[in-house]
A and B are shown apart, each in its own frame.
Chain A
Amino acid sequence: MNIRFDKLGVVIAAIAAYAAFVAPFATFRANRIVPGQARSILEALPTATGALLLVIIVVAALIALFKTPLVLRLVASVVALVALALLVGVAGTFLTPAGNTFARISPAFGFWILIFAFTLLLADVLTRLELSPWARVGVLVLAAAAVGLLLVSGSWNDLSILKEYFNRADSFWAEGSKHVTLALGSLFAAVVIGLPLGILCHRVEKLRAGVLNVLNIIQTIPSIALFGLLIAPLGWVAIHVPGAAALGIRGIGTAPAFVALFLYSLLPVVANTVVGLAGVPRAANDAARGMGMTDRQRLFGVEFPLAFPVILTGIRIVLVQNIGLATIAALIGGGGFGVFVFQGVGQTAMDLVLLGAVPTVALAFAAAIILDAVIEMTTTKRRAETA
C-alpha cells in the first residue's frame, strides 16, 4: 500500500489540530466590553455535540492530510465548514446563561483559524477544479445563500455580532445602502467621465502624460486627507452621524466622500481605457479604415469592443477599492459600514467593529469574484471569436 501525504494537507492538518485542541473556540464575556474568558470546543458545546465536532474536524483534517480524490476533499471541507458554522451558533446558545441579556459569546481565535484552514482546503479544491466563470459565480451564490439561511434561521442569534446587529438593525441597513451607493455611485460617475477622458487621452497624445500624472498624484494623497480637504469646497452643511460622534468628529455628509471616491476612481478607469485602446491591433484598425468606417464607427464597432476586457479590469480595481475606501467616509460623516468600525474602535467593542468590517469584506470579495468572472467571460468570448 502506498500512502502519500499532501503537502498543503500537512499545513492544513497542523493548523486544524492546533485550533481544535489548543486554541479557544469561543469567548465568553459578562458584558460587551469586558475582557473575555476562553472556552475550548468541549467546554463551549454540549459534550456529545462537542465530541461530534472534534470527530468531524479530525476526519476532515485526515482527508486533507493524505492524497485523496478531489471530490472527497470537497465534501470534507464543505462538511467541516457547515458544521463549524452551525455549531458556533449552538455554542452561543449553550454558553449564554438563561435569561441573561448582557453576556456576550463570540467566536474565538480557534474558530477563526479552523474556518481559515478548511476555507484553504476548499479554495485549493476549487482552484484545482478550474471552474468556469459561471460555476464560480454559482459557488458564490450558494455560499451567500447558505450564510443567508443561517442568519434567517436564527441559529446565530446568540452570537455577539448579531446582538450588536439587533441593537441597531435599522441603522445597519441604512448605513449599508449608503455604503453601496457611495461605492457604486462614484464608480458610475468615474466611468461616465473617465471613459471619454480615456478615449480623448488615447487620441490626443499631448494630453495623455499630463492627465495621467495629475490622476497619479491624486492617488498619493492619503484618503483621510482627501476626504477632509473636500469638506471646505463642498460647504459646511454638517450632518451628525453616530460614527463621527463617537470620535468627536464633525460630520459633513456624503458629498465630500462621494467626490473623493470619484477622484480615486478616475485613474484606474482612464489608465485602463488608454492601455486597452493602445492594445488594439493595428491590423484591426487598418481593416476598419479600409472598409470605410468613420472614426466614430471604428471607435464603437472595433476599438471599444476589443479594449473592453482591459477597461473592465480597471472597473474591477475601482469597485473593490471603493468598497474598502468607503469605510473611511464615516470619519467625515459620510456614513457607510465604517460608522460601525470607527464606533467600535472608539468603544473598544470589537463585535461592533466586526459588524462593520465583515459586510465590507464580504461585499468586496463578492464584487471581485463576480467581476473576475465577467472579465474572463469577455476575454474567452473574444478569443473564441478571433480564433
Chain B
Amino acid sequence: MKAWLPALLRLALVVLLVAFLTNPGWFEPLLKPLTENNAPVIYNQGSLLTLTVLHLRTVLLATVAATIVAVALAILVTRPAGAEFLPLSRSLVNIGQTFPPVAVLALAVPAVGFGEKPTLIALFLYGLLPIFENTLTGLTTLPANVVEAARGAGMTGWQRLLKVELPLSAPIILGGIRLSVVIGLATATIGSTVAAKTLGEVIIAGLLSNNLAFILQGGLIVAALAVLIYDGLSAIERYTARRMGSEAE
C-alpha cells in the first residue's frame, strides 16, 4: 500500500537538492535564524554546485580506481596461482580497516602535497577494503555445483571467471562499492582540511567563522547525496541479484 511513499520521498529529496544547489537564495529565510551579526547565510566563497560536482568527481575517481584494483586483487588471490596470498590478504584487509581516515589523509600530504591528491589517495585506500572484502566473499562462496557445472561444460578458467563467477558475485561486489562510496562521500569532506576542493570547504568555513548555516548546508548536501547514492546503488544491487538469482536456477 505504501510502496510509493519511499519513492516519493526520494523524488522530493532530489528536487530539494537540485533546487538548493541551483538556487540557494530561495532557502535563505530558512537558514537565516542560524547566523549571527548579519553573517552571510549562503556559502559565498564559491558556488555550491561547483563544489558538489568536484566532491562527486573526487569520490567517483577514487571509487573507480579502488574498484579496478580491489576486484583485480581479489580475482588474483582466488586463482590457484595466487592462493598463497589469500590468508595474508585477509589479515591485511583487517589491519587496513583500523587506519583512521584522518591519519591516512595527513600522512599522504608529505608524499604528494596539499590539495586533491592526498584526498584521492585516502579515499582510494579506504575504498579498497570493502570492495576487496566483498569480492573475496562473493568469489569464495559461489555454489559449488554451479562452478562444477561450468567446469564440466568445458569452460576455461577465463570463461568461468567472466561468464559465471563474476556475474554471480556481482551483487555482493556492488554492495562493497556502495559501502565504499558512502564512506568516501563523508571522508572527502575531511579532505578540505588539506585544501581539497570539496563540500568540506563549506563546513570548515562554517567552523572557522562560527557560522552554523554554513555547517548545516554543507553537512546536509553531503548527507542527501549519500542517502540518494546509497539508495540508487541498493536498487541496482537488488536488480542484479534478481537477474543472477533467476539465471542461477
Q: Using Cβ atoms and an 8 Å threshold, which residues of chain B touch A331?
A: 193, 204, 207
**B65 interface residue per 8 A CB criterion:** no
> Across the two chains, which residue of chain A brings its CB closest to B210?
A250
The CA-CA distance from A331 to B99 in the complex, in Å, is: 19
**Stretch touching chain B among A87-95, A189-197, A279-287, A357-365:** A357-365
**B87 interface residue per 8 A CB criterion:** yes
Are B95 and A365 in contact, with the CB atoms below 8 A?
Answer: yes
**B200 interface residue per 8 A CB criterion:** yes
Are A123 and B95 in contact, with the CB atoms below 8 A?
Answer: yes
Q: Number of residue pairs across A and B with beta carbons under 8 Å?
A: 152
Are B206 and A228 in contact, with the CB atoms below 8 A?
Answer: yes
> Across the two chains, which residue of chain B brings its CB closest to A128?
B87
Q: Using Cβ atoms and an 8 Å threshold, which residues of chain B touch A217?
A: 223, 227
B: interface residue count bin: 35 or more
Are A220 and B223 in contact, with the CB atoms below 8 A?
Answer: yes
Choice from A220, A229, A250, A324 contacting B102 with Cβ under 8 Å: A324
Are A222 and B186 in contact, with the CB atoms below 8 A?
Answer: yes
**B31 interface residue per 8 A CB criterion:** no
Are A124 and B203 in contact, with the CB atoms below 8 A?
Answer: no
How would residues 90 to 101 of chain B score, 1 for a CB under 8 Å from any chain A CB and 0 otherwise? 111011011111
- Chain A nearest CB from B137 CB (Å) reads 16
**B74 interface residue per 8 A CB criterion:** no
Choice from B81, B182, B203, B226 contacting A224 with Cβ under 8 Å: B203
**A345 interface residue per 8 A CB criterion:** yes
- Chain A nearest CB from B234 CB (Å) reads 11
> Across the two chains, which residue of chain A brings its CB closest to B94?
A368
Known: A220-B182, A341-B103. A229 touches B215 (CB 8 A): yes
Known: A123-B92, A357-B106. A224 touches B190 (CB 8 A): yes
The CA-CA distance from A332 to B95 in the complex, in Å, is: 29
Chain A, interface SS category: helix
Q: Using Cβ atoms and an 8 Å threshold, which residues of chain A touch B81?
A: 7
The CA-CA distance from A127 to B82 in the complex, in Å, is: 16
Known: A127-B90, A228-B203. A223 touches B190 (CB 8 A): yes
Which residues 84-123 of B have a CB within 8 angstroms of A? 84-85, 87-88, 90-92, 94-95, 97-103, 106-107, 109-110
Q: Using Cβ atoms and an 8 Å threshold, which residues of chain B touch A320?
A: 97-98
How would residues 140 to 171 of chain B score, 1 for a CB under 8 Å from any chain A CB and 0 otherwise? 00000000000000000000000000000000
Count, chain A residues at interface, CB 8 A: 51
How would residues 342 to 356 of chain A score, 1 for a CB under 8 Å from any chain B CB and 0 otherwise? 101100101001101
Q: Using Cβ atoms and an 8 Å threshold, which residues of chain B touch A120?
A: 88, 92
The CA-CA distance from A248 to B189 in the complex, in Å, is: 18
The CA-CA distance from A328 to B215 in the complex, in Å, is: 15
- Chain B nearest CB from A192 CB (Å) reads 25
How would residues 184 to 226 of chain B score, 1 for a CB under 8 Å from any chain A CB and 0 otherwise? 0110011001100001100110111010100110111011001
Are A222 and B107 in contact, with the CB atoms below 8 A?
Answer: no
How would residues 217 to 244 of chain A score, 1 for a CB under 8 Å from any chain B CB and 0 otherwise? 1001111111011011000000000000
Known: A231-B212, A327-B100. A123 touches B207 (CB 8 A): no
Q: Using Cβ atoms and an 8 Å threshold, which residues of chain A touch B102?
A: 324, 327-328, 338, 341, 357, 360
The CA-CA distance from A232 to B212 in the complex, in Å, is: 8
**A60 interface residue per 8 A CB criterion:** no
Q: Using Cβ atoms and an 8 Å threshold, which residues of chain A touch B91?
A: 123, 126-127
Which residues 314-334 of A have a CB within 8 angstroms of B? 320, 323-325, 327-328, 331-332
Known: A127-B90, A248-B208, A353-B107. A364 touches B100 (CB 8 A): yes
Known: A222-B186, A224-B207. A360 touches B103 (CB 8 A): yes
The CA-CA distance from A222 to B95 in the complex, in Å, is: 23
Known: A225-B215, A341-B106. A360 touches B100 (CB 8 A): yes
The CA-CA distance from A368 to B219 in the complex, in Å, is: 29
Are A365 and B85 in contact, with the CB atoms below 8 A?
Answer: no
Q: Which 7 A-B residue pairs are closest in the complex by CB-CB distance?
A: A225-B219, A324-B100, A220-B226, A228-B215, A357-B103, A222-B189, A364-B98
30 contacts between A and B (CB under 8 A): A7-B82, A8-B85, A124-B88, A127-B87, A128-B87, A220-B222, A222-B200, A222-B218, A223-B190, A224-B207, A225-B189, A225-B222, A226-B219, A228-B215, A249-B204, A331-B204, A332-B207, A338-B102, A342-B193, A345-B194, A348-B109, A350-B109, A357-B106, A361-B99, A361-B100, A361-B103, A364-B99, A367-B98, A368-B94, A368-B97
